[in-house]
Amino acid sequence: MSKNFYITTPIYYASGRLHLGSASSTCFCDSYKRYMKQLGYDTRFMTGLDEHGQKVEKKALERNLTPQEYTDKLAERAINLWKYLKCDYDKFIRTTDPEHVKEIQLIFDKMLKNDDIYLGEYDGWYCVSCETFFTNSEVGEEHICPSCGKKVTTVKEKSYFFRLSKYQDRLLKFIEDNPDFIKPEVKKNEVVSFIKGGLEDLSVSRSTFKWGIPLLNDPKHVVYVWLDALFNYLTGLNFLEEDNSLYKKYWLNGKTVHVVAKDILRFHAIFWPIFLMSIDVPVNYQLFCHSWFLMMGEKMSKSTGNVIYPETFVKRYGLDSFRYYVLRNFPYAQDAVCTPLDYIQTYNTELVNDFGNLVSRTLSMASKYFNSKVRNIKSDNEYILNFEKFLESEIENYHKDMAEYKINNALKDINNIVARTNKLIDETMPWALYKEGNLELLESVIYHLLDAIRIESILYVPYLIDSTEVIFKSLNVKDSEKDLCNLNPFTKEVYEVGMLEKPLFPRENDPEKAKNEILVDMEEELKKDI
- Residue by residue, DSSP assigns 145-169 as -TTT-PBPEEEEEEEEEE-GGGGHH
Backbone angles phi, psi at 127, to 5 degrees: -100, 115
- Give 5-27 pLDDT, tens digit per residue: 999 999 999 888 899 999 999 99
Q: Which long-range contacts (CB under 8 A, 24 or more apart) does 497-501 make?
A: 497/363, 497/366, 497/367, 497/372, 497/373, 497/374, 497/450, 498/363, 498/372, 498/473, 498/474, 499/363, 499/364, 499/367, 499/372, 499/474, 500/359, 500/360, 500/363, 500/470, 500/474
- Give 503-513 pLDDT, tens digit per residue: 999 999 999 99
Position 135 pLDDT exceeds 80 = no
- Give 369-394 pLDDT, tens digit per residue: 999 999 999 999 999 999 999 999 99
- Give 282-298 pLDDT, tens digit per residue: 999 999 999 999 987 77
CATH architecture of residue range(s) 339-496? Orthogonal Bundle (1.10)
Give the separation between CA 529 and CA 73, rounded to whole angstroms.
11
The pTM for the full model equals 0.94
236-240 mean pLDDT: 97
Confidence of residue 530 (pLDDT cuts 50, 70, 90): low
Q: Please tell me whether the peptide bond between 340 and the residue prior to it is cis, using omega within 30 degrees of 0.
A: no
Q: For 153-242, list the strands marked E by DSSP.
A: 153-162, 182-183, 202-203, 205-206, 222-223
Position 55 pLDDT exceeds 70 = yes
400-416 mean pLDDT: 98
Confidence of residue 1 (pLDDT cuts 50, 70, 90): low
399-405 mean pLDDT: 98
**DSSP reduced 3-state for 117:** strand
88-112 mean pLDDT: 97
Portion of the chain with pLDDT greater than 90, in percent: 85
Q: What is the average pLDDT value for the chain, to the nearest integer?
A: 94
- Give 329-361 pLDDT, tens digit per residue: 999 999 999 999 999 999 999 999 999 999 999
Position 303 pLDDT exceeds 70 = no
CATH 3.40.50.620 segments of the chain = 4-290
Do the bridges between strand 336-338 and strand 298-299 make them parallel or antiparallel, or are there none, so unpaired? unpaired
Give the separation between CA 11 and CA 14, rounded to whole angstroms.
9
CATH architecture of residue range(s) 4-290? 3-Layer(aba) Sandwich (3.40)
pLDDT of residue 123: 77
- Give 428-455 pLDDT, tens digit per residue: 999 999 999 999 999 999 999 999 999 9
Q: How far apart are the first and last CA of the chain?
A: 46
201-222 mean pLDDT: 94
Using alpha carbons, list the distances in angstroms from residue 417 to 87, 392, 412, 422, 452.
26, 10, 9, 9, 8
271-286 mean pLDDT: 98
Confidence of residue 302 (pLDDT cuts 50, 70, 90): low
Confidence of residue 364 (pLDDT cuts 50, 70, 90): very high
**DSSP reduced 3-state for 177:** helix
If one compares 147 and 6, the residue with the highest pLDDT of the two is 6
CATH 1.10.730.10 segments of the chain = 339-496
Position 148 pLDDT exceeds 80 = no
35-50 mean pLDDT: 97
pLDDT of residue 441: 97
- The burial of 239, by beta-carbon neighbours within 10 Å (0-12 exposed, 13-18 middle, 19 or more buried), is given as buried
Give the separation between CA 260 and CA 271, rounded to whole angstroms.
14
146-168 mean pLDDT: 87
